[in-house]
Amino acid sequence: MAVKPLTKPKILKKRTKKFIRHQSDRYNKIKKNWRKPKGIDNRVRRRFKGQFLMPNIGYGSAKKTKHVMPDGFKKFLVHNVRVWCWSLTLHKSRTSTGHCVAHQELEVLLMQNRSFAAEISRTVSSRKRKLIVERAQQLAIKVTNPNARLRSEENE
């Protein structure tokens, strides 16, 4: 049975159109990617009526729906099945507090499987992907990309 999210809030975006750069519609050499206008006389920076809108903090998403995918889950990037940590003698990957810096792993989602969905990192091999998908089914964790890099038996 498919895992359903704990709550599925209605996601309301304050603006769905992209903010485009001033005069990018006029010249091909100016790309559409947003850049803040810095000129002293610039009418977009001065917010004249009828000009392009500038992005600001008011366009941010609501706290409850921030980073929520349309299916109601939040993404959690997974690299491995278990939490692992190099010992201090092997690798100096500890923070100033002495805690270990570990990859974000699948079994961390055990208690949060109704709010977070695992997304397998693109750097994971197909052999490890099979193990992660198999373990996710046992723990009832949703995986957003379970079929990535997996070929069927006929194709091989």
- pLDDT tens digits, 15-25: 999 999 999 99
Nearest partner of 24 among 48, 44, 50, judged by Cα: 44
What is the residue-averaged pLDDT of the chain? 84
Average pLDDT over residues 20-45: 97
117-154: b or e for each residue (b if 16 or more CB lie within 10 Å)? bbbbbeebeeebbeebbebbeeeebbbeebeeeeeeee
Retrieve residue 64's tokens. 């409850």
**Model pTM score:** 0.73
pLDDT value of residue 104: 59
Q: pLDDT band at 2, cuts 50/70/90?
A: confident
Residue scoring higher pLDDT (79 or 31): 31
Average pLDDT over residues 22-32: 97
Q: How many residues does the chain have?
A: 156
